[in-house]
């Protein structure tokens, strides 16, 4: 798999379709053994891409492939090994999936190759299952970690699974928030990873102390709590800053989608409202030390940004998002993504790529047309999926329409 990623990422600049000047987007996408695609190749310009076809054909799989051009576990937040192509015709001995792309940015084209690295078995950190390591190459060169992807490109998405974002637990809202923060501050990804790793290590040490009734090395526990406090306050501060900026953009928005108001709730965030960051770190360290017995018994950490939540409200109706209708909740999510896209364009000089899975399903004709107009004005490529090409007809002369059928692609015929 390493060879295929390297070869594709180096050769992806040849024969790329001419991009629309000033827009950001994928101009070539190559998949190998990804989900239901044995192999697939798309040459595009940076205009919108509309993928239509029956359920289960592989539309979302293409969006997921694009999402892996950014840090993280993709829009499905899935195990890397579960992405390998399966089925009776899958080739035995294939080591993993691969995605290669050329992306047009305002700083010039970037060639990205990524995939699951089966050769890293035995080398990965404790807790990772077989093949759960992702290799990344940018412009033909290997990079350590995935943070470099966020420095090159921003990608945000909206999927049907997010339709219940406001009525389910806070985990999904935190993942959305971190994805939005990545787009504004790529270094946030590294801080989140460092915080979560130290938190896992602390939980393991506390569990070992409880199960063996031995104190272990108290110095190592203190060192981990120092990292948790430092990185945790940085994570909370980054989220807090992003939410404040995004809330201002949302408050000023005008158009067919409802104004969303955003705020962040959490213990560490409250401390940052009351005291400087260094003082918040010291308070966090004391809280971690005091909560060791309870955290050991519970198997986690009671305090920290892993417990924070994003609160969203419908401004015009003055109600929390969870009390809005299903259609209003979808419209609020779209409103937030549009505001974030505009904010990222201001802060980083270019907007993110948008992946909108089944986005037209809960929108009336007026809002669909309004959304399409907004997407064309954002100077960023949008990928949209749906079962009915007729819903996207306002984009007929501006987008690339592709029909998807059981892992195959063809031009849509009208």
Q: Are 84 and 116 in contact (CB under 8 A)?
A: yes
Q: How is domain 166-326 classified at the architecture level of CATH? A: Up-down Bundle (1.20)
Over the chain, what HEC string results?
CHHHHHHHHHHCCCCCCCCCCCCEEEEEEEEEEECCEEEEEEECCCCCEEEECCCCCCHHHHHHHHHCCCCCCCCCCCCHHHHECCCCCCCCCCCCCEEEEEEEECCEEEEEEEEECHHHCCCCCCCCCCCCCEEEEECCEECCCCHHHHHHCCEEEECHHHHHCCCCCHHHHHHHHHHHHHHHCCCHHHHHHHHHHHHHHHHHHHHHHHHHCCCCCHHHHHHHHHHHHHHHHHHHHHHHHHHHHHHHHHHHCCCCCCCEEEEEECHHHHHHHHCCHHHHHHHHHHHHHHCHHHHHHHCCCCCCHHHCEEEEEECCCCEEHHHCCHHHHHHHHHHHHHHHHHHHHHHHCCCCEEEECCCCCCCCHHHHHHHHHHHHHCCECEEEEECCHHHHHHHCCCCEEEEEECCEEEECCC
User: Average of pLDDT values for 73-80?
Assistant: 92
Q: Are 407 and 89 in contact (CB under 8 A)?
A: no
For residue 123, pLDDT beyond 60: no
What Rg do the C-alpha atoms of the chain give, in angstroms?
A: 22
**Angstrom distance (rounded) from CA 166 to CA 376:** 28
For residue 111, pLDDT beyond 80: yes
For residue 144, what pLDDT is reported? 85
Indicate if the alpha-carbon torsion angle 7, 409, 24, 337 is positive or negative: negative
Using CB atoms within 10 A of its CB, is residue 219 exposed (0-12), middle (13-18) or buried (19+)?
exposed
pLDDT band at 414 (very low <50, low <70, confident <90, very high): confident
- What digits encode the pLDDT tens for the residues 207-254? 888 777 666 667 889 999 999 999 999 999 999 999 999 999 999 988
pLDDT band at 2 (very low <50, low <70, confident <90, very high): very low
Q: Which residues contact 278 (CB under 8 A, 6 or more apart)?
A: none
Q: Which of 378, 393, 291 is nearest to 343 (CA)?
A: 378
**Angstrom distance (rounded) from CA 304 to CA 45:** 43
Q: Are 268 and 285 in contact (CB under 8 A)?
A: no
Fold designation for 1-154+352-414? Rossmann fold (3.40.50)
User: Average of pLDDT values for 88-115?
Assistant: 85
**Angstrom distance (rounded) from CA 136 to CA 143:** 6
- What digits encode the pLDDT tens for the residues 138-155? 999 999 888 889 999 999
For residue 21, what pLDDT is reported? 64
For residue 119, pLDDT beyond 90: no
Q: Which of 19-33, 176-190, 206-220 has the lowest mean pLDDT?
A: 206-220
Q: Are 37 and 100 in contact (CB under 8 A)?
A: no
Number of CB atoms found within 10 A of residue 133's CB: 17
**Angstrom distance (rounded) from CA 274 to CA 196:** 25
pTM: 0.86
Q: Which residues contact 357 (CB under 8 A, 6 or more apart)?
A: 59, 60, 63, 75, 157, 158, 159, 160, 385
| Residue ranges per structural domain of the chain | 1-154+352-414, 166-326
Question: What average pLDDT does the chain have?
Answer: 88
Percentage with pLDDT > 90 across the chain: 74
**Angstrom distance (rounded) from CA 161 to CA 158:** 8
């Amino acid at each position: 798999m390493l060879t295929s990623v390297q070869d594709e990422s180096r050769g992806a600049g040849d024969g790329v379709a001419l991009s629309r000047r000033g827009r950001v987007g994928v101009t070539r996408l190559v998949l190998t053994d990804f989900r239901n695609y044995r192999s697939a190749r798309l040459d595009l310009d940076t205009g919108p891409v509309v993928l239509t076809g029956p359920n289960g054909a592989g539309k979302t799989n293409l969006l997921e492939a694009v999402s892996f051009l950014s840090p993280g576990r993709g829009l499905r937040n899935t195990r890397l090994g579960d992405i390998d192509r399966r089925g009776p015709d899958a080739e035995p001995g294939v080591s993993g999936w691969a995605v290669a792309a050329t992306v047009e940015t305002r700083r010039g084209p970037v060639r990205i190759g990524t995939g699951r690295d089966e050769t890293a078995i035995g080398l990965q950190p404790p807790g990772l299952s077989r093949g759960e390591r992702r290799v990344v190459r940018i412009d033909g060169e290997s990079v350590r970690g995935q943070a470099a992807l966020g420095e090159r490109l921003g990608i945000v998405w909206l999927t049907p699974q997010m339709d219940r974002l406001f009525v389910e637990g806070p985990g999904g809202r935190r993942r959305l928030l971190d994805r939005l923060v990545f787009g504004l501050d790529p270094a946030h990804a590294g801080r989140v990873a460092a915080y979560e790793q130290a938190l896992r290590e602390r939980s393991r040490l506390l569990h070992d102390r409880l199960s063996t009734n031995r104190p272990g090395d108290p110095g190592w526990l203190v060192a981990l709590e120092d990292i948790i406090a430092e990185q945790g306050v940085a994570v909370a501060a980054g989220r807090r800053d992003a939410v404040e900026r995004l809330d201002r953009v949302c408050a000023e928005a005008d158009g067919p989608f409802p104004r969303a108001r955003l705020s962040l709730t959490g213990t560490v965030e409250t401390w940052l409202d009351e005291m400087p960051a260094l003082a918040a770190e010291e308070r966090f360290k004391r809280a971690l030390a005091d909560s060791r017995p309870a955290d050991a018994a519970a198997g986690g950490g009671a305090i920290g940004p892993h417990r924070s939540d994003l609160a969203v409200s419908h401004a015009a109706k003055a109600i929390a998002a969870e009390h809005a209708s299903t259609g209003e909740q979808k419209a609020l999510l779209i409103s937030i993504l549009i505001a974030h896209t505009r904010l990222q364009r201001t802060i980083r000089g270019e907007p993110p790529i948008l992946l909108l899975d089944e986005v037209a399903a809960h929108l009336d004709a007026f809002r669909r047309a309004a959304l399409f107009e907004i997407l064309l004005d954002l100077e960023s490529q949008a990928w949209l999926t749906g079962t009915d090409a007729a819903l996207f007809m306002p984009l007929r002369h501006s987008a690339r329409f592709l029909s998807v059928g059981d892992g195959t692609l063809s031009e849509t015929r009208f």
